[in-house]
């Protein structure tokens, strides 16, 4: 197989051991004579695998028993509406921070179900910082934030505290879950589409403190109720077993190399190297405020009007793929998720330095 580094923002790079194990399981899963795609989700090997994945999530994130782990479908995008449907009653208020495209989508959905108070926004400067002054309501049900803004390359380095004691944080952690440590007790609910940092598309991880589900009385379709999936341990309907298995293997790999705390050290080292080079290199700069830079998605642009396609081709010739920036930022974006080895970042830095020498 051709050896390249994939800097895609999502679906994104997975550790080779995950790709290999998933590909082997497609042919035969655990000496059953069947491939995993062909097996009943009610069969013991599959039930055990899903339950083991649940345990790995608990272990790696140090979850207390009061939190449930769910493997759902519909992506993070379905959570944009499932969250308010279950947690925001008609006439009730929820506080939302607006730090980018995904935050805005979450806000739009919540407005269907209750009152949304947008307590901060960085829209005025194309979302290149995290606005930390929050105009919180004193009666909000929860405070929603996007922990890492995949498109704009900003990240909450520390999380705000909700104004009211009964309130709690809800976070879209699609692009930074398992990349760094955090205290789950501040959060009522976390959701993350798997395809950024822990697996392929098709499964969404939801972590929920069960006690927050009491407050809303509206009629909700069975499939849209968190309680349904809690009661049936993510097996109310047929779960995306292949995707869950890839998550299982990603988490095994993460566990084997020292868990989230060790990964955080690696991620910070990788990101610092790359930001340092962007600062040093006379051709590039990073549009994001220094304090709010993401350790997962690193956007950078040319200082002068150089030919972006030429740099992308130059990188591709060296095996550095999918570095084109999102259209709303332009320039380049290197996504350096958990599975991106430090050698990949080093190779990108070399390419940036050699390109600088050409000019």
Catalytic residues: 102, 172, 196
Asked whether position 104 contacts ligand PLP by CB under 6 A, the answer is no
In the list 68, 75, 198, 244, the residue contacting ligand PLP (rule: CB under 6 A) is 75
In the list 76, 82, 271, 329, the residue contacting ligand PLP (rule: CB under 6 A) is 76
Six-digit token string for 104 = 């805005």
Nearer to ligand PLP by C-beta: 146 or 250?
146
Nearer to ligand PLP by C-beta: 122 or 146?
146
Q: CA nearest 157: which of 334, 268, 297, 294?
A: 294
Six-digit token string for 333 = 């974006």
Q: Alpha carbon of 10 to those of 185, 218, 343: distances in Å?
A: 28, 35, 20
Asked whether position 175 contacts ligand PLP by CB under 6 A, the answer is yes
Six-digit token string for 325 = 């920036």
**Minimum distance from residue 179 beta carbon to ligand PLP (Å):** 12
In the list 136, 155, 174, 322, the residue contacting ligand PLP (rule: CB under 6 A) is 174
C-beta neighbour count of 128 within 10 angstroms: 20
Asked whether position 99 contacts ligand PLP by CB under 6 A, the answer is no
Q: Which stretch binds ligand PLP (CB under 6 A): 61-69, 72-80, 260-268, 281-289?
A: 72-80
**Minimum distance from residue 10 beta carbon to ligand PLP (Å):** 5
Asked whether position 196 contacts ligand PLP by CB under 6 A, the answer is yes
Nearer to ligand PLP by C-beta: 174 or 243?
174
CB 223 within 8 A of CB 237: yes
Q: Which stretch binds ligand PLP (CB under 6 A): 51-59, 69-77, 81-89, 180-188?
A: 69-77
CB 94 within 8 A of CB 88: yes
Q: Which residues contact 55 (CB under 8 A, 6 or more apart)?
A: none
Phi and psi dihedrals of 198, rounded to 5?
Answer: -135, 5
What does the alpha-carbon distance between residue 72 and residue 156 come to, in Å, rounded to a whole number? 25
In the list 53, 97, 150, 155, the residue contacting ligand PLP (rule: CB under 6 A) is 150
> By three-state DSSP, how is residue 92 classified?
coil
Asked whether position 114 contacts ligand PLP by CB under 6 A, the answer is no
To which H or E segment does residue 303 belong? none
Q: Which stretch binds ligand PLP (CB under 6 A): 22-30, 51-59, 70-78, 132-140?
A: 70-78
Asked whether position 172 contacts ligand PLP by CB under 6 A, the answer is yes
Nearer to ligand PLP by C-beta: 150 or 322?
150
Scored b (16 or more CB within 10 A) or e, 312-321 reads: bebbeeeebe
**Minimum distance from residue 76 beta carbon to ligand PLP (Å):** 3
CB 298 within 8 A of CB 292: no
Question: What is the contact surface with ligand PLP in residues (CB under 6 A)?
Answer: 10, 75-77, 102, 146, 150, 172, 174-175, 193, 196
């Amino acid at each position: 197989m051709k050896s390249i580094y994939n800097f895609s923002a999502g679906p994104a790079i997975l550790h080779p051991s995950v790709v290999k194990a998933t590909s082997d399981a497609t042919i035969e899963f655990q000496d059953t004579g069947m491939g995993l795609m062909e097996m009943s989700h009610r069969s013991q090997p599959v039930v055990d695998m899903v339950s083991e994945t649940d345990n790995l999530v608990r272990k790696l994130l140090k979850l207390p028993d009061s939190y449930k782990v769910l493997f759902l479908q519909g992506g993070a995008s379905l959570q944009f509406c499932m969250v308010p449907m279950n947690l925001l009653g008609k006439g009730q208020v929820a506080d939302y921070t607006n730090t980018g495209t995904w935050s805005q989508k979450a806000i739009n959905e919540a407005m269907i179900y209750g009152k949304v108070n947008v307590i901060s926004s960085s829209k005025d400067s194309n979302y290149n910082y995290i606005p930390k002054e929050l105009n919180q309501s004193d009666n909000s049900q929860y405070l929603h934030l996007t922990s890492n803004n995949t498109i704009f390359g900003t990240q909450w380095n520390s999380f705000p505290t909700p104004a009211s004691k009964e309130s709690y944080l809800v976070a879209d952690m699609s692009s930074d879950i398992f990349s760094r440590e955090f205290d789950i007790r501040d959060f009522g609910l976390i959701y993350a589409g798997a395809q950024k940092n822990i697996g392929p598309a098709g499964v969404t991880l939801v972590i929920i403190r069960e006690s927050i589900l009491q407050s809303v009385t509206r009629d909700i379709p069975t499939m849209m109720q968190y309680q349904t999936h809690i009661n049936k341990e993510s097996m109310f309907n047929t779960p995306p077993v292949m995707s869950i298995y890839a998550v299982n293997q990603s988490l095994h790999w993460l566990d084997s190399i020292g868990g989230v705390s060790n990964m955080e050290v690696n991620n910070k080292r990788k990101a610092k190297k790359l930001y340092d080079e962007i600062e040093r290199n006379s051709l590039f700069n990073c549009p994001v405020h220094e304090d709010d830079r993401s350790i997962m998605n690193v956007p950078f642009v040319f200082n002068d009007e150089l030919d972006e396609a030429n740099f992308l081709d130059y990188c591709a010739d060296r095996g550095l793929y999918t570095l084109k920036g999102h259209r709303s930022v332009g320039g380049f974006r290197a996504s350096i998720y958990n599975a991106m080895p430090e050698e990949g970042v080093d190779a990108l830095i070399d390419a940036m330095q050699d390109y600088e020498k050409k000019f």
